[in-house]
Amino acid sequence: MPKWSKRAWIAALLACALGSLTQPSRAAEDPWPGLASDIFKGRPLEDGTGLLALDMPARAEDAAIVPLTIRAVLPPGDPRRVTGLTIVIDENPAPVAASFVLGPGISSLSTRVRVDSYTHVHAVAELSDGKLYAVKTYVKASGGCSAPALKNADAAATALGQMKFRLFATSAQAPRREAQIMVRHPNNSGLQMDQLTRLYIPAFFVRELRVWQGEDLVLAMDGGISISQDPNLRFSYVPNGAKRFRAEAIDTEQHVFRGEWPADAPDM
Amino acid sequence: MTRAYAVFAAGLLLLFGSGLPGTRSQPASFPLELLQIAGGNFVHFGAVAMMNRDNEGGIANLGLIVGEDAVAVVDTGGSQREGERFLAAIRTVTPKPIRYVINTHMHPDHVFGNGAFAAERAAYVGHSNLPRALATRASFYLNAFRRSLGDALIDEVKIVPPSDLVRDAMVLDLGMRALILKAWPAAHTDNDLTVLDTASGTLFAGDLLFVRHVPVLDGSILGWLSVLREMARIPAARVVPGHGPVPDDWRGALAEQRRYFERLTQEVRGLISRGVPIAAAAGVAEAEKGRWELFEEYHARNATAAYSELEWE
pLDDT digits (tens, 9 = 90+) for A83-116: 999 999 999 988 999 999 999 999 999 999 999 8
Q: Please measure the distance between the N-terminal and C-terminal CA atoms of chain B and give it in whole angstroms.
A: 38
pLDDT digits (tens, 9 = 90+) for B20-37: 444 445 555 799 999 999
A57–B279: do the CB atoms touch at under 8 Å? yes
CB B53 within 8 A of CB B28: no
Residue B70 located in a structural domain: yes
* Domain spanning A6-262, CATH class: mainly beta
Rounded to a whole number of angstroms, the distance from the CA of A145 to the nearest CA of chain B is: 6
pLDDT digits (tens, 9 = 90+) for B172-214: 999 999 999 999 999 999 999 999 999 999 999 999 999 999 9
CA–CA distance, A115 with B65 (Å, rounded to integer): 39
Percentage with pLDDT > 70 across chain A: 82
Does the pLDDT of residue B10 top 80, yes or no? no
The predicted structure's pLDDT at residue B23: 44
Q: Cβ atoms within 10 A of the Cβ of A18, count?
A: 10
The predicted structure's pLDDT at residue B21: 40
Residue B41 located in a structural domain: yes
Residue B12 located in a structural domain: yes
| Nearest by CB: B301 against A62, A148, A152 | A62
The predicted structure's pLDDT at residue B27: 57
Rounded to a whole number of angstroms, the distance from the CA of B119 to the nearest CA of chain A is: 19
pLDDT digits (tens, 9 = 90+) for B112-169: 999 999 999 999 999 999 999 998 899 889 999 999 999 999 999 999 999 999 999 9
The reported pTM is 0.89
Mean pLDDT of chain A: 87
Does the pLDDT of residue A15 top 60, yes or no? no
Angle between helices B295-310 and B221-231 (to 10 degrees): 100
pLDDT band at B18 (very low <50, low <70, confident <90, very high): very low
| Nearest by CB: A268 against B220, B273, B304 | B273
User: Which chain A residues contact residue B140 at CB under 8 A?
Assistant: 116, 147-149, 192
The predicted structure's pLDDT at residue B26: 53
CB A135 within 8 A of CB A127: no
> Which chain B residue has the Cα nearest residue A24?
B143
Residue B293 located in a structural domain: no
Strand intervals (E) in A13-150: 45-47, 52-55, 66-72, 82-89, 96-102, 108-113, 119-127, 132-139
The predicted structure's pLDDT at residue B3: 37
> Which chain A residue has the Cα nearest residue B223?
A152
> ipTM score of the complex?
0.87
Q: What is the span of the domain harbouring residue B245? A: 6-249
CATH number of the domain to which B124 belongs: 3.60.15.10
Instruction: Give the closest residue to B82 by CA, choosing from B122, B123, B115, B106.
Output: B115
CA angle A71, A76, A79 (to 5 degrees): 85
Q: Per-domain residue ranges for chain A?
A: 6-262
| Nearest by CB: B305 against A116, A151, A184 | A151
Residue B126 located in a structural domain: yes
B312–A143: do the CB atoms touch at under 8 Å? no
- Provide the number of structural domains found in chain B: 1
Residue B276 located in a structural domain: no
The 8-class DSSP code of residue A59 comes to B
pLDDT digits (tens, 9 = 90+) for B75-118: 999 999 999 999 999 999 999 999 999 999 999 999 999 999 99
